[in-house]
Structure 1
Amino acid sequence: MGVVTRARKKRKLEEEQEFVDDFISGLPDGVLGDIVTLLPTRDGARTQVLSSRWRHIWRSAPLNLDLQKPLRHTPARDFSRVLSSHPGPGRRFTIDMRYVLSRDSAPLELEAWLRCPAMDSLQELEFHLGRPFEFPPLLPASLRRFSCTLRVASFGACSFPDGNANALHLPLLNQLSLVSVRISETSLHALLAGCSVLESLLLEDTNGFPRVQIMSTSLRSIGVCSPWGDDRLTQLIIEDAPSLERLLIFGGREMDISVISAPRLHILGELQGRGQMLRFGATALQGSTVASLTTVVPSVRALALSHMTPCLDVAINLIKCFPLLEKLHVEITHDREENTSSDKYQEPIGTLDIRLRKIVLAYLNDREPDIEFAKFFVMNASMLESMTLEFIGSDAWIRRQRRLLQVEKRASKGARFDFVSRNRSFSLPRAKQVHEMLILDPFQRVRR
């Protein structure tokens, strides 16, 4: 009897030790399901082999299906098999049909997949229907079944039906991306009107409407990139956006942008050195140049400029226009040789209240205009905390820059100066800049 008791105690101790070693398996099914749902598709499915405890979790957890570039050689029938083996509901479905073998039938295949029971109650959907169609296929009609559940959506390479009657109504949608889509101005306004809690919007290479007028109490972030060619976006009007915090303008053709009411706009850019016309009431900016300055814009804290010739007149006028500016990102171009150095500026620089804390200068070289431009901030930005100079050069170049900028005489004694190689940095993806509001500086560059 004593032997049996000792054996039972031993097994009990082993079971308890196994539970300690695999504490995560002791969590409730609902928690394990949330964990599996957040994993990539393949990893989530593989959890079934961990133990019998995990075997049913993947099929009972909300489906998280990411079918993008890594699966480019997977036949479409395999996708169908995954969907048929899962009872649902769906949480996230991401697919780029350019990497599915049956490209010619991509719209029909996507339509069939979206109607599967595994997609019931889908919350996040991202698809790209494929090649740059001259007349992209219509938006899948099955999307309407998710009108009461979708919270995140990205539609690519498709066209929207015209008219208010056919507009999608997505009352829970929080994030929306339209990429390489064709949509009329009427349909776009109807779509936005049907997204009553939308917080972030990306319009990238869209066609079919020359202008868009934004009236939204919920939008906090807008990103636009106007494509080349006819029938493109040329005019953006922020009519009434009381919650708007960031307006991001990506590379592309020039646009005419009017901000009538956006009192919380903190982040603005990239303004190009030429091309865009930006109006804040009676104040107008042509590219990065202040064309007329009637009123200041005190809400803007972060500003990005691209294709800018290093010119102190421009820099000083921008500081006047945005008097509370704290972060400045500048991509320098060398198309022209014009520059106004600090000692040539007509007004006393000492009267300027420069509140800049962070400055990033990209494509800097050791020409006199570039040095004078950077040196102006070194000598006058008394609240500066960091200054990053991106270059393509050698260690000797860095030593020369430090000497020319006279950083030891800087106005802000606590300022840090970083000299980095532009070859080792890249911008954040556009969708991340627009939709991830926790990224406080969407213009930051990531180091490899």
Structure 2
Amino acid sequence: MEKEAAGEARESHGTARKRARSGGGGGEDFITRLPDDILGIIISLLPTKDGDRTPVLSRQWRHLWRSAPLNLEVSTRPPGAAGPVPTPSRVPPSAVSQIISQHHGPARRFSFHCRGAGDLCAQAESWLHSRALASLEELDIAYASPRLLASVLRSVSTTILAAKINGCHFPGEIVPAMNFPNLKKLTLFHTSISEDVLHALLSGCHALESLYMAQVSAAGRLRVSSPTLRTIIFSHSSSEMAQLVILDAPRLVRLLLPYYYGSDRVTIRVVRAPMLEILGPFIAAVSNILLFQGISPVSSANSMRTVKVLALRSSADKLHAVLNILRWFPCLERLHVTFGKHHDMDQQNEPQHDPLHPIECLETHLKKVVFKPFEGYGKQVDFARFFVLNAKVLDKIEFEAYNHYGIEMVGYEHKLLQVENRASRHARFVFKTISSDWVPCQ
């Protein structure tokens, strides 16, 4: 009896393991047991070629490809053309008409890069007016002619949720009449657009939450007014003059400036953004980089009290430039400083910090400071030591370095930083190693 019981126990245990591996009884796996609408969403997130292969996985999947939301990526790179190799997930133009004629589900995304496409631009217009692409949600179009771009925007204006437009010129006579009631995310990259057309375009976006502009060429200023925008990302490093003006953005929370080198060719003004909390990074120079309407370094009454997080790029010997900027943000809670060999415009004329006029955020609000890359000697130590000795409510200071800090090195840095004399007695000091793929901005 004991042997039989032991055998039954082993058999039961083995059956349980098989069921666990198969996802439960009946030999079904967890993916197969998902509802068809969920499986359709999963397939729609795959590139076109990969989605087309899913019917071979299971008989139950054969109908899903044709009914799942379509993710169509079209390759228009001519055979033997120079340049980067296109992604293998893109389908050739010759296959597009067949795909959209046989696909019975809605369209989720259409990606079409027109460089070298020639006569395909006219064919692309017919694709976008087809029934299969009638409810398009995401658009990625590049190097389109003004005529094609205008046609594309007309065809998707009522359904589009996210649009990325690259290497195009906006036609001025078309955009003012457009209406995008559902567009939430707009990306303009290497795009030419006039001041009036951009203003009209944004006026037609009634649900826009995110605007990303990189290398945008405009005849005049880039004026932004939007009652719905929460994030603006602006990147500019070309030789052209650029002026970004945030005229009225009552819900704007983040103004991000990636890869912004800060030269006298660029001016950023914020006229009205009463909810702005996150700003930067920009180079720590007072005079020409960032201009806020009605703000001066010596007037706390007109300062940006809403900003809680600020990122700056600075040379280690530009402490006074950073401190003068901090006067603008009296309620700042987090400061991120990236050290590098920056070319500040006002290196010789930067006003010195006056210790008789305390910086409000250092007295009452600043809780966290991050320095990277922190090499642990010279001017960087002097720079960091100022915050150790003067930030009175700090919770944490992070030092991000290329090399690992051992116990002895950390103790040595504590001594240089005068940690025992820190203004905030409960402040913690954390040393982290920067990953090998992090590249500092020079």
Q: Distance in 2 between matches of 1:424 and 1:412?
A: 35
Residues 40-119 of structure 1 aligned to structure 2 (within 5 Å): 40-66=47-73, 69-71=86-88, 75-97=92-114, 103-104=117-118, 107-108=121-122, 110-119=124-133
Change (3 A) 1:347 1:311: farther
The one-letter amino acid paired with 2:355 is Q
Change (3 A) 1:163 1:308: farther
8 Å contact kept, 2:256–2:279: yes
Change (3 A) 1:303 1:105: farther
Change (3 A) 1:18 1:331: same
Change (3 A) 1:406 1:141: same
The one-letter amino acid paired with 2:318 is C
Q: Deviations over 1:40-63 (max 9, x none)?
A: 444433331222211101111111
TM-score for both structures, normalised by structure 2: 0.77
8 Å contact kept, 2:215–2:235: yes
Taking only aligned residues, the RMSD between alpha carbons, in angstroms, comes to: 3.7
Helix, strand or coil for the counterpart of 1:208? coil
Q: Distance in 2 between matches of 1:38 and 1:54?
A: 15
Is 1:236 the counterpart of 2:244 in the alignment? yes
Q: Could you say which residue in structure 2 is the equivalent of 1:300?
A: 307
Q: Distance in 2 between matches of 1:125 and 1:314?
A: 43
Q: Distance in 1 between matches of 2:196 and 2:33?
A: 54
Helix, strand or coil for the counterpart of 2:268? strand
Q: Could you say which residue in structure 2 is the equivalent of 1:173?
A: 183
The one-letter amino acid paired with 1:189 is H
Is 1:247 the counterpart of 2:255 in the alignment? yes
Helix, strand or coil for the counterpart of 1:187? helix
Q: Could you say which residue in structure 1 is the equivalent of 2:355?
A: 346
Change (3 A) 1:199 1:304: same
8 Å contact kept, 2:311–2:335: yes
The one-letter amino acid paired with 2:279 is L
Q: Distance in 2 between matches of 1:185 and 1:118?
A: 35
The one-letter amino acid paired with 1:87 is H
Is 1:120 the counterpart of 2:120 in the alignment? no
Q: Could you say which residue in structure 1 is the equivalent of 2:293?
A: 281
8 Å contact kept, 1:87–1:117: no
Q: Deviations over 1:59-111 (max 9, x none)?
A: 1111123568422886432455444442342012234456xxx5455644543
Change (3 A) 1:377 1:67: farther
Q: Distance in 1 between matches of 2:357 and 2:314?
A: 27
Give the % identical residues.
35
User: How big is the shift at 1:247?
Assistant: 1.2
Q: Deviations over 1:331-373 (max 9, x none)?
A: 223468989xxx9953276984152223222243344322111
Is 1:311 the counterpart of 2:318 in the alignment? yes
Q: How many residues align?
A: 398
Change (3 A) 1:116 1:420: same
Q: Could you say which residue in structure 1 is the equivalent of 2:223?
A: 213
Q: Distance in 2 between matches of 1:238 and 1:28?
A: 46
Q: Could you say which residue in structure 2 is the equivalent of 1:387?
A: 397
Change (3 A) 1:322 1:55: same
The one-letter amino acid paired with 1:405 is L
Helix, strand or coil for the counterpart of 1:321? coil
Q: Distance in 2 between matches of 1:107 and 1:34?
A: 29
Q: Distance in 1 between matches of 2:31 and 2:405?
A: 50
User: How big is the shift at 1:386?
Assistant: 3.4
Q: Which runs of 5+ in 1 are unaligned?
A: 1-13, 285-289, 428-448
Q: Could you say which residue in structure 2 is the equivalent of 1:417?
A: 430
Q: Could you say which residue in structure 2 is the equivalent of 1:10?
A: none
Change (3 A) 1:111 1:398: farther
